[in-house]
């Protein structure tokens, strides 16, 4: 956790710096609080699960929750425009999963000026004042992936497929894994991580190239399950299912089913639902009761493979 705390967070996490009088008075008078949830996209079931659980918690607490997201994780500018529109609407709190960890900073600073507390989920920002960050310790998850890969193979090449270059969450998953694998002298990295923008078709294409370029390829490590599922198509078409292990990251039910079907090997299972509900609760408790959340709350991450994949056929 020391590494995660160090990166933690590039976005400044502050206690008690937001002007809460208006929100608190509104809540006390019975006026409904309004929060915004802006995930990376709603075309990824990971973020759908997050949104569903956030909505359940909002309904339980009597909060109006507006969820909006761009079509693709690469739509950084569109997400920023959505964030800005929520500031203009004067919502009481914003939960965001930044597509651009640097690019979102100026918008967070605008929310700070407007007295709107901001919580980052799953992926944090690299600046601005954040009420808190709730998500996986991605560096530790990457280390866990590296240890698992080292338990699978004694030697050979490991390729890595990332999503959007520069994304802090994905970079930490890569860094943790690399640092573990570099300690094993008979395991080599097959060049730099190649981007797929979390698109299955692009992931499949990248995997096809990797299979040709590295004949001794033993493992392809993917920073999320959408990528892993695209990579699995290339591995199947190449007739390499028995030769190349595929490791994903998310714990998506579809990935767990693919494990049971022998199409991928394992995934690092996260808890997007827990992130969503915890984020709504943190904002509510801060605004209504003045309770300052922990700067970083790490939700659990664990290996799902053929031994326990059935436990992950539903999102956690």
Taking only the tens place, the pLDDT of each residue in 120-176 is: 999 999 999 999 999 999 999 999 999 999 999 999 999 999 998 888 889 999 999
pLDDT of residue 169: 85
Is the distance from CB of 276 to CB of 257 less than 8 angstroms? Answer: no
d(CA 40, CA 316): 19
CATH architecture of the domain covering 138-270+305-312: 3-Layer(aba) Sandwich (3.40)
User: Domain 2-135+271-300 sits in which CATH superfamily?
Assistant: Response regulator (3.40.50.2300)
What pLDDT does residue 207 have? 98
State residue 160's pLDDT score: 98
- pLDDT of 106 reads 98
Q: What pLDDT score was predicted for residue 2?
A: 31
User: What is the pLDDT at residue 4?
Assistant: 37
Which sequence spans correspond to the domains of the chain? 2-135+271-300, 138-270+305-312
Q: Would you state the pLDDT for residue 3?
A: 35
80 token code pair: 């920023």
Which residues in the chain land under pLDDT 50? 1-10, 15-17, 21
| Equal CATH topology for 2-135+271-300 and 138-270+305-312 | yes
Would you state the pLDDT for residue 7? 39
Residue 217 is predicted with a pLDDT of: 97
What is the distance between the alpha carbons of residues 168 and 152, in angstroms, rounded to a whole number? 27
pTM of the model: 0.76
């Amino acid at each position: 956790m020391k590494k995660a705390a160090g990166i933690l967070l590039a976005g400044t996490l502050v206690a008690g710096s937001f002007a809460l009088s208006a929100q608190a008075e509104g809540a006390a008078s019975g006026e409904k609080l309004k929060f915004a949830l802006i995930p990376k996209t709603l075309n990824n079931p990971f973020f759908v699960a997050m949104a569903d659980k956030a909505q359940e918690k909002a309904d339980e607490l009597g909060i109006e929750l507006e969820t909006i997201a761009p079509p693709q994780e690469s739509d950084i500018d569109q997400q920023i425009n959505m964030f800005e529109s929520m500031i203009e609407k004067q919502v009481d709190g914003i939960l965001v999963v930044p597509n651009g960890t640097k690019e979102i900073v100026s918008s967070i600073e605008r929310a700070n000026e407007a007295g709107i507390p901001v919580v980052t989920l799953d992926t944090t920002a690299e600046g601005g004042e954040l009420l808190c960050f709730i998500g996986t310790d991605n560096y530790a998850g990457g280390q866990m992936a590296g240890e698992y890969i080292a338990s699978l193979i004694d030697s050979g090449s490991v390729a890595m497929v990332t999503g959007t270059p520069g994304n802090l969450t994905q970079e930490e998953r890569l860094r943790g894994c690399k640092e573990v694998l570099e300690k094993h002298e008979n395991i080599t990295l097959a060049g730099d991580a190649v981007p797929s923008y979390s698109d299955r078709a692009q992931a499949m294409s990248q995997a096809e190239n990797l299979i040709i370029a590295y004949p001794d390829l033993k493992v392809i490590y993917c920073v999320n399950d959408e990528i892993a599922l695209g990579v699995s198509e290339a591995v199947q078409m190449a007739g390499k299912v028995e030769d190349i292990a595929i490791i994903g990251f998310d714990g998506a039910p579809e990935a767990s089913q693919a494990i049971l079907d022998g199409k991928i090997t394992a995934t690092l299972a996260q808890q997007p639902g827990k992130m969503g509900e915890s984020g709504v609760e943190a904002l509510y408790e801060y605004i209504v009761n003045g309770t300052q959340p922990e700067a970083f709350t790490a939700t659990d991450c664990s290996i799902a493979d053929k031994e326990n994949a059935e436990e992950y056929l539903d999102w956690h």
